[in-house]
């Protein structure tokens, strides 16, 4: 079951690319997701394949070789990849955030240097904001940048950097005095050390790393935007795209849970019938089906609002990500429950999806941060004295 027709009102172009995305996932990603999870890494071949298909150029302008997908197509791509492997979708998320920021704020020479290669998959970007002491509260970052001749020197540590183990370029946020500023930092910059972080709970194949900057020299052209623009003007919009991407990816994970549970429930016999005929199993399946449809509609609404630059778009993206990520974790837990002991095996897709789903509740705004933001929005927009009638 996949509610993508009728009420979603996709255009012919969007329906066509969605079919293409699903076919790519079914052949190139889904059969290998458990293997990649156990290995804790993605082969570069899948990244190259995504570049060849145009997916890594999703937010890159056509003049730089990108696909320039519309916002709904970008969401549908994240859903399709999320069905197959959340680690693959995570790489698309951070790469798209970096490519968007460079396209929006990069100097002409930096755009020419990075964007065509990023679109082709020859160069992959990673988003370096989080630090050991700065996660949800990004304003607490301590990584510093100081002017040095015609460039800058970076010092500090970034942590939990998705695809940091293999990325070719990093979008790094650092302080020049008290002004948070963004820099485009190549992987081979002197003074940059990449330290792998292994055995994460979920999205294990997304190759998370710690970045250590020790007298790391970058040229003046590495500065993105102006000093002090980093957090609000650059990180904020990029994180909005990231949050939107994760929301759609959680819809894909929900869809995968439903499909995996339904397939197993139709062939597993207990007490004289397949368990799909047991009413309590039917309740779990009905909850999954309803949640995935509702989450997809929330994501579509968020995309439509963002497409028209509606003032409610940001709040809609927060709600979509909150609902889809929390729903995905419940659905993944129920998927393991339906599979029983076999769902706990290291070779099972069910246990991988449960671990990946937990990560969806943490990244791009934790569940608790989202609850605060959404509540503040509701309180700010509700008329005075509104309450039960």
Quick: pLDDT tens for 119-173: 999 999 999 999 999 988 888 999 999 999 999 999 999 999 999 999 999 999 9
Tell whether the model's pLDDT for residue 250 goes beyond 90: yes
Question: What is 126-228's CATH number?
Answer: 2.40.110.10
Cα gap 98→267, rounded to integer Å: 44
Catalytic, out of 28, 79, 260, 364: 364
Share above pLDDT 70 across residues of the chain, in percent, rounded to a whole number: 96
For residue 388, what pLDDT band results from cuts at 50, 70 and 90? very low
Query: 180: helix, coil or strand?
Result: strand
Pick the closest to residue 185 from 125, 255, 136 (CA basis).
Answer: 125
List pLDDT tens digits, range 70-90.
999 999 999 999 999 999 999
| Predicted local distance difference test score (pLDDT) of residue 149 | 93
Q: Where are the domains of the chain?
A: 6-123, 126-228, 231-380
Closest CA to 228 of 186, 185, 177: 177
Residue 249's nearest CA partner among 371, 91, 24, 16 is 91
Question: Would you say the pTM of this structure is higher than 0.85?
Answer: yes
Tokens coding 225 = 């935007």
Q: What is the pLDDT of residue 385?
A: 57
- Going by pLDDT thresholds of 50, 70 and 90, the confidence category of residue 10 is confident
Residue-wise pLDDT for 213-244, tens only, equals 999 999 999 999 999 999 999 999 999 999 99
CATH of range 6-123; options 1.10.540.10, 3.40.50.720, 3.40.366.10, 3.20.20.60: 1.10.540.10
> Quick one: which H or E segment has residue 33?
helix 33-39
Give how far Cα 365 sits from Cα of 175, 198, 217, 225, 318, Å. 22, 22, 31, 24, 8
> Which pLDDT score, from 0 to 100, does residue 135 have?
86
Is residue 260 among the annotated active site residues? Answer: no
Give 259-268's long-range contacts (Cβ < 8 A, gap of 24+). Answer: 259/83, 260/335, 260/339, 260/349, 260/350, 260/353, 261/285, 261/288, 261/334, 261/335, 261/338, 261/339, 262/1, 264/338, 264/339, 265/338
CA-CA-CA-CA torsion sign (271, 277, 283, 288): positive
What pLDDT sits at residue 1?
A: 46
Residue 69 contacts residue 59 (beta carbons within 8 Å): yes
Report residue 5's pLDDT band, with 50, 70 and 90 as the boundaries: very low
Whole-number pLDDT of residue 63? 97
Tens digits of residue pLDDT in 314-352: 999 999 999 999 999 999 999 999 999 999 999 999 999
Residue 386 has a pLDDT of 55
Average pLDDT of the residues of the chain: 94
Architecture of domain 231-380: Up-down Bundle (1.20)
């Amino acid at each position: 079951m996949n509610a993508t027709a009728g009420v979603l009102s996709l255009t012919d172009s969007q329906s066509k690319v969605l079919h293409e995305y699903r076919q790519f996932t079914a052949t190139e990603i889904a059969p290998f997701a458990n293997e990649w999870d156990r290995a804790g890494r993605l082969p570069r071949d899948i990244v190259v394949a995504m570049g060849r298909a145009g997916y890594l150029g999703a937010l890159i302008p056509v003049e730089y070789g990108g696909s320039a997908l519309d916002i709904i197509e970008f969401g549908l791509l994240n859903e399709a990849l999320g069905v197959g492997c959340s680690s693959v979708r995570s790489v698309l998320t951070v790469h798209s955030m970096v490519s968007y920021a460079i396209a929006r704020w990069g100097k002409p020479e930096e755009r020419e240097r990075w964007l065509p290669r990023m679109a082709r998959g020859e160069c992959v970007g990673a988003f370096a904001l989080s630090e050991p002491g700065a996660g949800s509260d990004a304003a607490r970052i301590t990584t510093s940048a100081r002017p040095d001749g015609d460039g800058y020197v970076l010092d500090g540590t970034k942590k939990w950097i998705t695809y940091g183990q293999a990325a070719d370029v990093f979008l790094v946020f650092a302080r020049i005095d008290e002004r948070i500023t963004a820099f485009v930092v190549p992987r081979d910059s002197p003074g940059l050390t990449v330290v792998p972080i292994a055995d994460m709970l979920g999205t294990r194949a997304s190759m998370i790393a710690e970045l250590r900057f020790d007298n790391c020299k970058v040229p003046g052209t590495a500065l993105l935007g102006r000093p002090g623009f980093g957090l609000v003007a650059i990180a904020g919009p990029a994180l909005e795209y990231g949050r939107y991407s994760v929301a759609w990816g959680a819809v894909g994970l929900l869809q995968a849970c439903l499909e995996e549970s339904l397939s197993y429930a139709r062939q597993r016999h207990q007490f004289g019938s397949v368990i799909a005929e047991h009413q309590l199993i039917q309740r779990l399946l009905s909850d999954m089906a309803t949640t995935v449809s509702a989450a997809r509609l929330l994501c579509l609404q968020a995309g439509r609002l963002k497409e028209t630059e509606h003032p409610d778009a940001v709040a809609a993206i927060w709600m979509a990500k909150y609902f889809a990520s929390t729903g995905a974790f419940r659905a993944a837990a129920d998927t393991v429950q339906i599979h029983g002991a076999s769902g706990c095996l290291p070779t099972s897709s069910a246990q991988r999806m449960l671990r990946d789903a937990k990560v969806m509740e943490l990244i791009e705004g934790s569940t608790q941060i989202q609850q605060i933001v959404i509540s503040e929005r509701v309180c700010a927009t509700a008329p005075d004295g509104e309450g039960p009638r």
